[in-house]
Amino acid sequence: MIYAVIVVAAVLTATAWGTWLERKLAARLQTRIGPNRVGPYGLLQPPADFIKLLRKETLIPDGADRLLFQIAPPLTAFLAIAVSAFVPLAPGGGTGLDASVLLVLAFGAITVVPTWMAGWSSRNKYALLAAMRAVAQSISYEVPLVLAALVPVILAGTMDLDGIVRAQAGGRWFALWPTVPGLPAFVLFFACLLAEANRIPFDIPEAESELVAGVTTEYTGMQFGFFYLAEYVHTLVGSAVAATLFLGGWDGPFAPGLHWLVAKTVGLFVVVYWVRWTYLRLRADQLMALAWRVLVPAALGMVLLASVWVQL
């Protein structure tokens, strides 16, 4: 229980200042200043935002399904945080579960369920349309995501995340040469991660110009805050999973440990928001076509190549 509390607190703390990092990064890319009023360099902006959300009134629309409407936001945040329980943070710090990769993918996939609940229960056409988009996107991109995650499983010969990291010990990271199928699988996994976390260019469920604010249109105060938190947690933990599967996790050239996982996770986290503030949003039809016509066949080819590679 103590370990769980520490991990959850660390994830939430990192997520809070991840919002500050994104704002500063976006400002830098767009020649702006970013947060600079609350605390030195705006570092106290995340706590200020949290206090502001807590003080906001919680409103429930007339005709909404009150039960589903109220449990969807915290359930979304819970499922996003739950994935962090399976990421090995240091040598010997894994869960020891033989199917931890499967559990990570399962928890990541069902986060769309409370998103659908929120859209359906809001009794708002924009929220409902956003929920339908989210379900379609999740189904489409979960297929190549799982196939890409199978590549390190095949190369390592185990579904235990800690075992996958140990198979990459000594700098033999799957995303680097000489593991041929590793790098393209990593790129594909990372692209699907953007879609799973609803990050641009794959954020059609929350297209502000079309759907106001997606499933969060009718949510106020801390209920909206839970959705906001879940998106950032999903991105942060997803970056940690990608670093574990393809970049050696806690392994590094000097003194393997937590610091290497943190450095790799932060690096991928920055790339996610670099992409977000650089590219435009895809249309819904373009997003579906990319998944089924390009990413799924490519992922199947990578799984086949990995299967042949381990026999060589």
CB 236 within 8 A of CB 269: yes
Domain ranges of the chain: 1-55, 56-309
First to last CA, the chain: 44
pLDDT tens string, the chain, 312 residues long: the values are 777 777 788 888 888 888 888 888 888 888 888 888 888 888 888 888 888 888 888 888 888 888 888 888 889 888 888 888 888 887 776 666 778 888 888 888 888 888 888 888 888 888 888 888 888 888 888 889 999 999 999 988 888 888 888 888 877 888 886 677 888 999 999 888 888 777 777 777 776 667 777 788 888 888 888 888 888 888 888 899 999 999 888 887 887 788 888 899 989 988 888 888 887 778 878 888 888 999 999 999 989 988 888 777
Other Cβ atoms closer than 10 A to 133: 24
Give 18's contacts (C-beta < 8 A, 6+ positions apart): 232, 235, 236, 269
Nearest of 66, 38, 33 to residue 50 by alpha carbon: 38
State residue 95's pLDDT score.
61
State residue 13's pLDDT score.
83
pTM above 0.75, yes or no: yes
Distance CA 1, CA 4 (A): 5
CB 222 within 8 A of CB 56: yes
